[in-house]
Amino acid sequence: MVLKCICLNLWWGGNLFPAIVDFLRTEDADIVCLQEVHDGHDPKLKDRLRSMDVLRDKLGYAYEDFAESHLLRLPEGAIPSGNGVLSKFEITTRSKTYLFDSTQKEYMDVPEQWPIFPRILEHVALATPAGEVNVFNMHGVWDLDGDNPSPQREVMFRRTLKAVEGKPNVILTGDTNATTGNPLFKDVEKQLVSVFSDKLESTFNMRRKDKPGYATAAVDHMFVSDSFEIISKECPDVDVSDHKPLVVSLKLP
């Protein structure tokens, strides 16, 4: 069985929502892992503030999960924000792990609060014809220095590795906010295979970034169990977010 998996940071819920919908509809992946998802439900809200509702209506995936990490305080109110998974396969288990501890309940989209946003690892177990597949969808600790093995990042990776330990057929992906050169990835690669290894120069869409450093920063990653055969992998330069998506096809016996 071949699975197609996409990872994409929506960029504050989906600043480029029509392009996101067109891209995901065309790719028609089996599993879609999303970060910076908003889960408001008032129809009067902009599409980007009700990401899950809009994607459900537009794409028609049979199964979905939204994992709230925090409430984002906006002029429209406090909007649930976090990670989301869309799946063609039944979700049999779902959970989330906080990647560092935080005491606030609401946050604002201002630079001084970016480092303290709660970050989570969303987990869903999928019932596929080839057996259980465990998908872990990460939005990592924010730090402008992607190579910095900070204490917060040490906690993040330690909790991640504990969550995936012993699980069969793992797909770990997301916007880690850590660049390929971060030494903490070495611990991940002791358990899982890096799909892209060090082959990605950047996972940012430079049409939407004004700092040149983003052009050499690969922060979106995917790791898989060695039970998977990697059939294809791509980081297409499409204008759907301030991040580029990861598009990977994997085979299970």
> Over 90: is that where the pLDDT of 101 sits?
no
> Over 80: is that where the pLDDT of 211 sits?
yes
Amino acid sitting at position 13: G
Where residue 83 sits, what CATH number does that domain have? Answer: 3.60.10.10
Q: Which residues, other chains included, contact 199 with Cβ-Cβ below 8 Å and sequence gap of 6+? A: none
Q: How many domains does the chain have?
A: 1
What b-and-e string marks burial along 179-201, b requiring 16 or more CB atoms within 10 Å of the CB? bbebebbeebeebbbbbbeeebe
Q: How confident is the model at residue 1 (pLDDT cuts 50, 70, 90)?
A: very high
Give the residue with greater pLDDT, 109 vs 251. Answer: 251
| % of residues, the chain, pLDDT over 70 | 100
Instruction: Identify the residue whose tokens are 């999928």.
Output: 126
Residues 223/172, Cβ–Cβ less than 8 Å:
yes
The arithmetic mean of pLDDT across residues 43-48, rounded, is: 97
Residues 17/47, Cβ–Cβ less than 8 Å:
yes
Q: How confident is the model at residue 104 (pLDDT cuts 50, 70, 90)?
A: confident
Chain mean pLDDT for the chain: 97
| % of residues, the chain, pLDDT over 90 | 94
Cα dihedral value 195, 202, 65, 60, nearest 10: -100
The first and second tokens of residue 137, run together, are: 């969808």
pTM value > 0.85: yes
At 249 the pLDDT is 98
The arithmetic mean of pLDDT across residues 75-92, rounded, is: 97
Domain of 154?
2-251
Instruction: Identify the residue whose tokens are 């940071």.
Output: 9
Q: How confident is the model at residue 253 (pLDDT cuts 50, 70, 90)?
A: confident
> Over 80: is that where the pLDDT of 103 sits?
no
∠ CA 184-165-99 to the nearest 5 degrees? Answer: 55
The least confident of 6-20, 25-39, 90-104, 158-172 is 90-104
- Please, which residues bridge with residue 168 across strands? none
Residues 138/9, Cβ–Cβ less than 8 Å:
no
At 185 the pLDDT is 97
Longest distance between any two alpha carbons in the chain, whole Å: 50
Summarised one tens digit per residue, pLDDT across range 111-163 is 999 889 899 999 999 999 999 999 999 999 999 899 999 999 999 999 999 99
Q: How confident is the model at residue 102 (pLDDT cuts 50, 70, 90)?
A: confident
The least confident of 92-106, 155-169, 222-236 is 92-106
At 229 the pLDDT is 98
